[in-house]
Structure 1
């Protein structure tokens, strides 16, 4: 039974697909745009051909867009990217563009073909969510700060005779809960910035704070998932042109099936429960994204029931004043 479409039907399908389609030849210049692309841009095929389409890319996105396209074209590897493209009414809209190499009938590389979808509403929704997270964390942070101040003032007011009260179980438990809420607020704050695709770091001081949070997340995880009193090992070693900082615990470990999803936001391993191991599933995703924003990475090694080793891959900091 014949299942392939006749050439004319295939042409009509591509020409009027709901996605914008483009094609380039072996010279990396575009030689085709479907009707959906032309309706979006409000330009003619002749205007878009070759490098004409570039005039519609937002100036702030142009260099990144072309670097991504040309570097992958040279390697003949598929790519995905987002950039702003000018619509027919002059409004720039974010589009998601995926390009893949294709071959001719003889199996020779013939260029790239790509498809684009308008993702502007999705990005705006993410920004609205990020704004909500920012407001929520601000509202939570204010009373948390006040409660910490009151607790510290209470400790200082306790006399020597009341030392036992100062270290009593209720106060310690209250302090532990405050620290837990504070940690969750910090995770929500960073998640909001990542959702909005805001710069994670703008100043040296913020870099130090971000890396401090990364290490704090790893140590907190190691303590949380280890048996009470179990050893935790922290090591720092040279690795390539940078450093590898590892935190190894003797905890419950991670099921092998969960590895592909470990750094996905809000994901929690299948062998943990909210009752025994509270959390939002943000820790490792934040660690990974903060590290990558600084040119680093995260390596995870684990065996179920034998513990987990999380390794921060840190690039060497450039010397002050060095080009």
Structure 2
């Protein structure tokens, strides 16, 4: 809760103006009833409107017409409940263009808890938002091209099969594995709210079984899943898929799955409020040692578990192969609105 800045507003209003004008953000303030009566210099520089012209309810006309109703609705809700105000909207720039802006406000309360004023900020996020949209577009385009590659490969296998019908069994198995790679790709590629593949919940066992289908070792019984099957949704699925996809890829290249008799045990255990996932390789071709310089894959695993899921990732290089233990809180594997 903000302490009342009465000394700044009443005793030294110039000090408050200097403070807010020194900030790179647009700052505004309202009375307890929501009447806007103050904007700093950044607001007028950004909007180009005459001082005082957006007092009262004039501010709403500065928003994009499609955003005005939502902005009013959120603001009325904050005024009636005292809850913090936060919204993204398009604000008219002095150039005439609309730029995406993050609006926030908090109430100022007196000693009795009554709201005496609201203080808010507007932050220009247009460049960041457009960069994120561009990255999302590029990600979707890359994913589309990768899926097309899988489809082309499957089609070439089908065409080759017509010329060599005696290889039907092998070709069918290979085509199925290519299709599985395409499905696994949906788990490990970056996703936005619109592109997430999971609708509702799944389980870690279900997700990992789909992820490991392209690997012959799964059918051969050399990838063994055991322990508790834990519910997850898209929040947990993609980071965990990235982790185990990277581990499986490395195991095929130079770990346990690079030999004919190597195997992987993946054990999942619910321990109190945590999910503990232990990846243990057996039969690696030679003793592994920690890399002198962690590569991109290692950093990606760390980011997936520690940054995205707030967990812990521990590695140990045993004589028989790599051992990895990932510990993540159960409530970090699902979104709060689906818990």
Give the gaps of 5 or more residues in structure 1.
195-199, 202-208, 236-248, 278-283, 289-295, 300-323
Q: TM-score, normalised by structure 2?
A: 0.57
Q: Which has the larger radius of gyration?
A: 2
- Determine the C-alpha separation between the residues in 2 that align with 1:15 and 1:159: 79
Counterpart check, 1:219 vs 2:217: no
- Distance in 2 between residues matched to 1:109 and 1:252, nearest whole Å: 49
Query: How many equivalent residue pairs?
Result: 251
Contact 2:310-2:332 within 8 A present in 1 as well: no
Decide whether the 8 Å contact of 1:19 with 1:36 is kept in 2.
yes
Q: Deviations over 1:10-37 (max 9, x none)?
A: 3311234211111111222211111111
Distance change >3 Å, CA 144–CA 114, structure 1 → 2: same
For the aligned residues, what is the CA RMSD?
Answer: 4.8
In structure 1, the partner of 2:109 is: 103
2:226 equivalent in structure 1: 230
Pick the aligned partner of 1:133 from 124, 132, 139: 139
2:184 matched residue in structure 1: 183
TM-score w.r.t. the length of structure 1 is 0.60
SS for the counterpart of 2:312 is: coil
1:73-99 per-residue CA deviation (whole Å, 9 max, x = no partner) reads 211011321100001121111111111
**Structure 1 residue 138 displacement after superposition:** 1.9
Matches within 5 A, 1:41-80: 41-80=47-86
Contact 2:75 2:85 in 1 (8 A): yes
What is the CA–CA distance in structure 2 between the aligned matches of 1:121 and 1:263, rounded to whole Å?
29
Alignment of 1:75-94 (within 5 A): 75-94=81-100
Deviation at 1:126, TM superposition (A): 0.8
Match of 1:304 in 2: none
1:244 aligns with none
Map Cα deviations across residues 76-130 of structure 1 (whole Å, 9 max, x no partner): 0113211000011211111111110112466521131101111111011112211
| Residues 265/149 of structure 1: CA separation in 2 closer, same or farther (3 Å cut) | farther
Q: How far is 1:229 from its partner?
A: 4.8
Query: Any residues of structure 2 matched to 1:1-323 within 5 Å, and which?
Result: 7=12, 8-104=14-110, 107-151=113-157, 158-159=165-166, 165=170, 176=177, 179-180=180-181, 182-185=183-186, 188=189, 191=191, 193-194=192-193, 200=194, 210=197, 215=202, 219-221=206-208, 228-230=224-226, 251-253=268-270, 267=309, 269-271=311-313, 288=335, 297-299=337-339
* Cα offset, 1:220, TM superposition: 0.7
Equivalent-residue separation in structure 2 for 1:88 and 1:250 (angstroms): 59
